[in-house]
Amino acid sequence: MDWFGRGWRSIVPDRLKSVVRSLVPGRRAARASGRRGRSGTFGPLVDRRREWLFGHLPAESAAYHYDIFTKTSQKRLARRLGLRVADDYLVGVPLDEALAFIERSRFERCVIKPNLSYGAKGFRALERVDGAFRDLRTGAIASVGRLEHQLRREFDMRARPDEWVVEELLESFDGSAELPDDYKVYCFGGTAELIAHKRPIPGTRRYHAATVSRDWEPLDVGLEPVDDAAVVAPVNGGRLVEVAEEAASQLCYPFIRIDLYDTTKGVVLGEFTPGPGRRQEFDAEWDERLTRRWHEAAAAIDRGIRSGEISPLLPE
Share of the chain above pLDDT 70, in %: 87
| pLDDT at res. 32 | 37
| pLDDT at res. 158 | 66
| pLDDT at res. 155 | 83
Residue-wise pLDDT for 66-99, tens only, equals 999 999 999 999 999 999 999 999 999 999 999 9
| Helical spans, DSSP H, in 121-172 | 144-154
Global confidence as pTM? 0.86
109-114 β-sheet, strand order:
88-93, 164-167, 109-114, 124-129, 132-135, 141-142
Rounded (10°) angle between helices 49-56 and 59-66? 150
pLDDT, mean over the chain: 87
| pLDDT at res. 8 | 33
Q: What share of the chain is helix, strand, coil (3-state, %, to 5)?
A: 35, 25, 40
What residue type is assigned to position 286 of the chain?
A: W
- Interior angle at CA 246, CA 240 and CA 252, nearest 5: 130
Residue 120: pLDDT band by 50, 70, 90 thresholds?
confident
- pLDDT of 191 over the 60 cut: yes
What CA–CA distance (Å, rounded) separates 176 from 262? Answer: 12
- pLDDT of 314 over the 90 cut: yes
Nearest to 231 by CA among 204, 281, 257, 196: 196
Question: Would you call 177 helix, strand, or coil by DSSP?
Answer: coil
| pLDDT at res. 1 | 32
Residue-wise pLDDT for 208-243, tens only, equals 999 999 999 999 999 888 888 888 889 999 999 999
| pLDDT at res. 35 | 43
| pLDDT at res. 21 | 34
What CA–CA distance (Å, rounded) separates 140 from 150? Answer: 12
End-to-end Cα, the chain, rounded Å: 70
Length of the chain: 316
Q: Name the CATH superfamily for 42-85+178-307.
A: ATP-grasp fold, B domain (3.30.470.20)
What CA–CA distance (Å, rounded) separates 300 from 1? Answer: 60
Residue-wise pLDDT for 18-61, tens only, equals 333 333 333 333 333 344 445 579 999 999 999 999 999 999 99
What CA–CA distance (Å, rounded) separates 133 from 251? Answer: 39
Residue 157: pLDDT band by 50, 70, 90 thresholds?
low
- pLDDT of 180 over the 60 cut: yes
Comparing 5-14, 35-44, 188-197, 212-221, the range with the smallest average pLDDT is 5-14
Question: What are the phi and psi torsion angles at 254 (to 5°)?
Answer: -55, -35
| pLDDT at res. 38 | 54
Domain with CATH 3.30.470.20 in the chain: 42-85+178-307
What CA–CA distance (Å, rounded) separates 238 from 259? Answer: 15
> Regarding predicted confidence, which is higher, 8 or 316?
316
